[in-house]
Amino acid sequence: MSTPVFVTPSGKKLVTVIAGDGVGPEVVRATQRLIEATGAPIEWEEREAGAAVFRRGLPSGVPDDTITSIMKTRIALKGPLETPVGFGEKSANVTLRKLFETYGNIRPARELPSVPTPYSGRGIDLIVVRENVEDLYAGIEYMQTPGVAETLKLISAKGCEKIVRLAFEVARAEGRKRVHCATKANIMKMSEGTLKRVFERIAPEYPDIEAQHIIVDNCAHQLVRRPEQFDVIVTTNMNGDILSDLTSGLIGGLGFAASSNIGNDAAIFEAVHGSAPKYAGKNTINPTAMILAGVMMLRHLDEFAAAAAIENAVLVTLSEGVATRDVVGDANAVGTIEYTDALIANLGKRAASGQTRDYKPIKMPQISSAVDFVRPKERRVVGIDIFIESAQSAEELGPAITRLVAETPLYLKLISNRGTRVYPPTGAITDNADHWRCRFLANDDQADLDDATLFDTLQRVSAHYRWAHTEKLQYFDGAPGFTRDQGED
């Protein structure tokens, strides 16, 4: 088993089932029926989350007894959840991922028989492994000024190591040969660069797997040019969001896109699609995405034979041209229930095309859970960035702020506006916003500044200008922990 499992007295593996909203109950029921038909030793614990819960006034959309159930079972099979407008700000889906630290989102994309796409016949069969808890998705935002918004993109070395090791372990568990790491490290040398550096450090521990870094925009380009070159792609949360939806498109759309959110303590299996309320209760929705999520769940529970039986039944049934309306149009379609019946009837048959892989359990990475995951030998504080709001020009601000810190241990190195140096002037034509970064560095370039000195700088500036934000400037083991501006020497 990849993570702990709760086994009932009768020897069955307990799974928390959340039917979800809209079409959720139909696709989840189809998945349960198939799993039951395989005879796999699974027992369900039905729990609630989503729209009805929000409407009862619970702002997380996830009741305590649902959380308690997953704490016990460690496994959830989950239908799509809605956040009704006006009830809470946060998605119940994200709440669940965060509650159980399911740091890896695994998104397979595989060509399916009789699901025609522009890439049919080319054998697309890849997995996107997306970091699932940090990055821009943390949703940490501040209006810096009335007209300038800021979102923090936070990337930790620990988070990168977990997702990189998970990607290699997924590759091994599925007998895959190659892992691409997609980043924008050329522009974001610190945040995206951390993922690239961690990837390059860890890759040699997996000599059986080819490791290659690729710039994320080129990755998107290559995915539409030659998708068959990819096997596993590991990437940060926001980039992974875009790349994984792109890859779902390559193989026929969200009707076939399954997903697992896995961590060392729990795993949640779901379809990527939403609750599609307009199709709810109509017996027309394609349940394949949810069913393939069920297949991923069975493998997670070491029920490899049942997983292979269902996967083969999907391939056989689609090959026979039996499919829902999204695939074959209204005239030739079967309903959700009839499609599921056909799948059940095909359990035990082996697909001619599309061999299933020889899966092994994923060996979940075990890395240090130390909070201070990286410990430098030497560090010092060399200055402070103070972001101010002002309607003045760079030419007015520069000399005035220089004077404010005259005769102190710091000097004004530069002012920049959204990353471009505007003081001292560069000759650039810059259309400025009212958000100015003032960078103060120690006159003594070997100094290690104390807080009192930094507070003095902040107080001098704030006496004349409205400040919004400060960043301490530090060196770690001799390297600057901050980037230079466009135009900075």
Q: Which residues neighbour 214 within 8 Å (Cβ) at sequence distance 6 or greater? A: 180, 181, 182, 222
Binding mask 344-373 for a second copy (x = CB under 8 A): -------------------------xxxxx
Window 378 to 397, contacts with a second copy (CB under 8 A): 379, 385, 390-393
Q: Residue-wise over 138-157: b if at least 16 C-beta within 10 A, else e?
A: eeeeeebbeebeeeebebbe
Binding test (CB under 8 A) with a second copy, winner from 103, 199, 230, 359: 103
Q: Can you give the C-alpha Rg of the chain in angstroms? A: 26
469 touches a second copy by CB under 8 A: yes
Q: How far, rounded to the nearest angstrom, does the alpha carbon of residue 236 sit from its chain's CA centroid?
A: 6
Is residue 101 a contact point for a second copy (CB under 8 A)? yes
Q: Does 292 bind a second copy (CB under 8 A)?
A: no
Does 433 participate in binding a second copy (rule CB under 8 A)?
A: yes
Cβ atoms 209, 231 nearer than 8 A: no
Site membership for a second copy, residue 248 (CB under 8 A): yes
Q: What gap in Å lies between CA 314 and CA 174, rounded to an integer? A: 19
Query: How near is the Cβ of 382 to a second copy at its closest, in Å?
Result: 12
Q: Quote the Cα angle for 46-265-55, to 5°.
A: 40
For the bound state, the minimum distance from the C-beta of residue 312 to a second copy, rounded and expressed in Å, comes to 27
Backbone phi, psi, residue 25, to 5°: -55, -35
Residue for token pair 């002037």: 425
Q: Which is nearer to a second copy, 7 or 187 (CB)?
A: 187
- Interface with a second copy includes 172 (CB under 8 A)? no
- Residue 142 interacts with a second copy (CB under 8 A)? yes
Q: Is 218 in the site for a second copy (CB under 8 A)?
A: yes
Q: Note whether 67 binds a second copy by CB under 8 A.
A: yes
Ranges assigned E (strand) in 198-239: 210-215, 232-235
Near a second copy in 398-417, by CB under 8 A: 416
**DSSP secondary structure code for residue 371 in this structure:** S
Q: Is 116 in the site for a second copy (CB under 8 A)?
A: no
**Can residue 216 be called a binding residue for a second copy (CB under 8 A)?**
yes
What's the CA gap between 294 and 38, in Å, rounded? 12
Residue for token pair 């069975």: 298
263 binds a second copy (CB under 8 A): yes
Closer to a second copy at the Cβ: 29 or 300? 300
* Cα–Cα dist 308/278, whole Å: 32
Segment interacting with a second copy, rule: CB under 8 A, options 169-177, 181-189, 338-346, 347-355: 181-189
Q: Does 468 bind a second copy (CB under 8 A)?
A: yes
Instruction: Give the C-alpha separation, 241 to 273, whole Å.
Output: 13
Q: How far is the CB of 199 from a second copy (least distance, A)?
A: 15
Tell me if 447 contacts a second copy by CB under 8 A.
no
* Binding status of residue 484 toward a second copy by CB under 8 A: yes
Which of 116, 281, 376, 399: binder of a second copy (CB under 8 A)? 376
Looking at residues 295 to 324 of the shown chain, list those that interact with a second copy (rule: CB under 8 A).
none
> From the CB of residue 211, how many other CB atoms can be counted at a distance below 10 Å?
22
Give me the least distance between CB of 217 and a second copy, in Å please. 4
Asked whether position 85 contacts a second copy by CB under 8 A, the answer is no
DSSP lists the bridge partners of residue 29 as none
Q: Is 73 in the site for a second copy (CB under 8 A)?
A: no
Nearest by Cα to 111 from 358, 354, 359, 355:
354
- Report if residue 43 touches a second copy, rule: CB under 8 A: no
Torsion of CA 287, 288, 289, 293, to 10 degrees: 100
From the list 413, 386, 362, the residue with the least C-alpha distance to 172 is 362
Residue in 437, 440, 441, 453 binding a second copy, rule: CB under 8 A:
437
Q: Which of 159, 255, 287, 354 binds a second copy (CB under 8 A)?
A: 159
